Chain A
Amino acid sequence: MKIKIFNREICVCALLATNSICAKSSAEMGKTVRGRIWLYYGRKIFNFLVSMLFLSVAVFFVARLAPGDPLRSYYGDRVEKMSPEERERAEERLGLKEPVLTQYIRWLEHALQGDFGISYKYKRNVSEVIGARLGNTLMLGGISLALILILAPGLGIWCAWHEDKWQDRLVCRAGTVLSCIPEFWLSLVLVFIFAVSLRWLPGSGACSPGREDDISDRIQHLILPLAVAVTNHLWYYAYMIRNRILEEARAEYVLLARSKGLSKRTVFFRHCLRNVLPVYLGLMAISVPHILGGTYIVEMVFSYPGIGTLAYESVQYQDYNMLMLLSMFSGILVMTCSAISRTINAWIDPGMKNTENVLDGR
């Protein structure tokens, strides 16, 4: 018990320490250049930790307060035949009898030591279960992300260049319609057409049973989920890029560039696109969690054994520990990506670089 109290103090101390370092650094370290950089990163890290803390609190309590029976995921249908005494013992064993706050603090203590508990459903360490499925999701999400990163700017640039001509109008309309179709419905239609009627492609899973190492088989299984994930997000990003380019094409510097004798094409590709680049990179960094998150539903419909399916199950079966780790994982992903996007923007945009120079004490 003493050790536990000690741990609790450690995590509180860790947070307080970061806080006090920040306060201290703003007073003392702020004077030197190096100090300012430390202050900058210290603040970033402090914000990150606080955000994660809030996220974990929110998910933990909301999950506990939601109706449902966590014992069902652990014991399955046996729960219905359990006597009240048995139930009580089971709940005590899983630590569900204590007040929610105590449960949360215990979870936090263990989590800080890298122990995220066991999955009620799989009766194994959650990190183990997730680790086994992570590869599948990264494959699906990564490939769809890469496709979108390449296709979206291409499509956006093409539309902007043909602004208001029939090509642009056609793509705009088709894109809007496609991106409005719900993912699950599109998935079902594709499964119906290509898997059930035509029998060209498999309609579910990540690979055929017994052919885990067959790459062509895996690719075949990926085609339909990929098609859904890409069509659903592609237009959103392509349209954003298109509009951003058009905004640039109406900027006043275009007039000056053309008045000095540059052709429309040169101005478009050399001047306008360069201004869109930071926006694109920023957008792409933020799109990572968006697109990876988007694969959750696709995974569900295609019964693709990835993290999405796990997340869905963990909510459905009140698999608290699983849900917590997946939420924290998403949180880290979102925050890291937005930090990256901000760094990229500051790095590329000379205007923002200027403010950084101020930070460097120039």
Chain B
Amino acid sequence: MESLLEIRDLSVSFDTSQGELKALRNVNLSLYPGEVLALVGESGCGKSVLCKTIMKLLPENARIKNGRILAAGKDITDYREKEMERLRGRLFSMVFQNPMTVLNPAVSVGEQIGEAVRVRYPKMKREEVLKRVLELMDLTGIPEAEKRCKMYPCHFSGGMRQRSVMAIALACDPGILLADEPTTALDVTVQAQILDLLLMIQKKLKTATLLVSHDLSVVARVADRIAVMYAGKIIETGTSEDIFYDPRHPYTRGLLRSLPFFAEKGEELYTIPGMPPSLTRLPRGDAFACRNEYALAIDYEKEPPMFRISDTHYAATWLLDPRAPSMENISLAWPDMLSGNRPEGGGENSV
């Protein structure tokens, strides 16, 4: 299948006072039409940077060092501001993490959605724009749209604001939706609603979605495919099945194990030991090696390549090298629940 968005060998660095900060290192990713691809990782591993790189909304001290971004078959890596303006909103749009701050407090919600509509249809008449705005508000589940479109963001709750942000993002029927932690800043009860909404809209409009999250339980409910990121690198990709039932990278396993769902009563919750490395001073070899219980000597010397497990499943760990010790010995520390019997459907993993 032809991919809608393809990222090849992309590296992005920030020039900071502490030197070069390698936010993304040789990222490869493809997003296919109609699918939900989840990008999972700890805070600061480069998820948001990837989204902003695609949108070319990075701050001025950031630069693309190498790699290409292909959107709808076109290479947009070297696109300038003017050309990007034509793509934003139409080809891809973005839902942001914090709905409290991304809406302009001085502009009414309806006007902010209307602006996005006008980007695509600049000659549209006032009444038609309003009609489309109400339609969008209806689609994203904002009740009493006619009354509310005249209100200002300060009159909206967090969930309502996130719905408005989604209405803005969907205003021009984008082919690709980049959802950068859309539920993180919300109440747990609202999180589920927004997630359901995202899923519903995705099903309805068939928008290819890149869902960024640090929360595996969120991802489990919606993602078709998952890419796990660590220290600016994608370390494992696969379908949801692959990642949840057959995780191969020790980091992915660590993430899954630390879900409260798998904790035994009376035991402490599992955490991955240590901290992610500083992106300005990355260690030699595998960036995860020093936190890895199963690190091999080579992990400290050389970065592992992507090993193929199946057509859909890839992971970057030396443990998959044929010369590495067998995984059987390693699964000792692996909870029984995860190793053998698979529960039915992915939904149960959501906590």
Contacts and interface: CB of A to CB of B under 8 A. Distances in A.
Interface of A: 251-253, 255-264, 270-271, 274-275, 277-278, 349-351, 354
A255 B89 CA distance: 12
21 contacts: A252-B98, A252-B101, A252-B102, A253-B105, A255-B57, A255-B94, A256-B94, A256-B165, A257-B112, A259-B55, A259-B88, A260-B119, A260-B168, A260-B171, A262-B85, A274-B107, A275-B104, A278-B106, A350-B155, A351-B152, A351-B154
B14 interface: no
A278 B152 CA distance: 16
Ranked 7 nearest A-B pairs via Cβ: A261-B89, A261-B119, A350-B152, A260-B116, A252-B101, A256-B102, A253-B104
B96 A258 contact: no
Contact of B93 (A259, A278, A351): A259
A259 B85 contact: no
Contacts of B102: 252-253, 255-256
Given A349-B106, A351-B105, A259 B98 contact: no
B224 interface: no
B14 to A, nearest CB: 16
Nearest to B94: A259
Contacts of B154: 350-351, 354
Contacts of B169: 259-260
B9 to A, nearest CB: 25
Nearest to B52: A255
Nearest to B90: A261
A275 B116 CA distance: 19
Contact of B104 (A259, A264, A271, A349): A271
B115 interface: yes
Given A260-B169, A264-B81, A350-B105, 12 more contacts: A252-B101, A252-B102, A258-B88, A259-B57, A259-B169, A260-B89, A260-B115, A270-B115, A349-B106, A350-B106, A351-B105, A351-B154
B93 A260 contact: yes
Contacts of B104: 251, 253, 257, 271, 274-275
Contacts of A349: 106
A258 B57 contact: yes
B116 A261 contact: yes
Contacts of B96: 252, 255-256, 259
Interface in B21-36: none
Contacts of B129: none
Nearest to A252: B101
Nearest to A271: B104
Interface of B: 52, 55, 57, 81, 85-90, 93-94, 96, 98, 101-107, 112, 115-116, 119-120, 152, 154-155, 165, 168-169, 171-172
Binding site secondary structure of chain A: helix
B290 to A, nearest CB: 34
B155 A354 contact: yes
Contacts of B155: 350, 354
Nearest to B89: A261
B115 A257 contact: yes
Nearest to A250: B59
Nearest to A349: B106
Contacts of B86: 261
B101 A261 contact: no
A253 B101 contact: yes
A251 B96 CA distance: 13
Nearest to B98: A252
A278 B86 CA distance: 32
Contacts of A274: 104, 106-107
A256 B168 contact: yes
Nearest to A273: B106
A243 B145 CA distance: 36
A256 B85 CA distance: 13
A256 B152 CA distance: 16
A260 B170 CA distance: 9
B262 to A, nearest CB: 35
A261 B86 CA distance: 7
A351 B155 CA distance: 8
Nearest to A348: B106
A349 B94 CA distance: 27
Most-contacted residue by chain A among B104, B112, B119, B152 (CB, 10 A): B104
A82 B220 CA distance: 100
Contacts of A260: 88-89, 93, 115-116, 119, 168-169, 171-172
B119 A251 contact: no
A354 B94 CA distance: 29
A255 B97 CA distance: 11
A258 B55 CA distance: 9
Most chain B Cβ neighbours within 10 Å, of A262, A277, A278? A262
Given A258-B88, A350-B152, A350-B154, A253 B116 contact: no
B258 to A, nearest CB: 30
Contacts of A354: 154-155
B180 to A, nearest CB: 10
Contacts of B81: 264
Q: Which of A251, A257, A264, A271 has the most CB of B within 10 A?
A: A257
B103 A275 contact: no
Contacts of A264: 81
Nearest to B92: A259
Contacts of A258: 57, 88
A199 B103 CA distance: 58
A354 B153 CA distance: 11
A61 B106 CA distance: 47
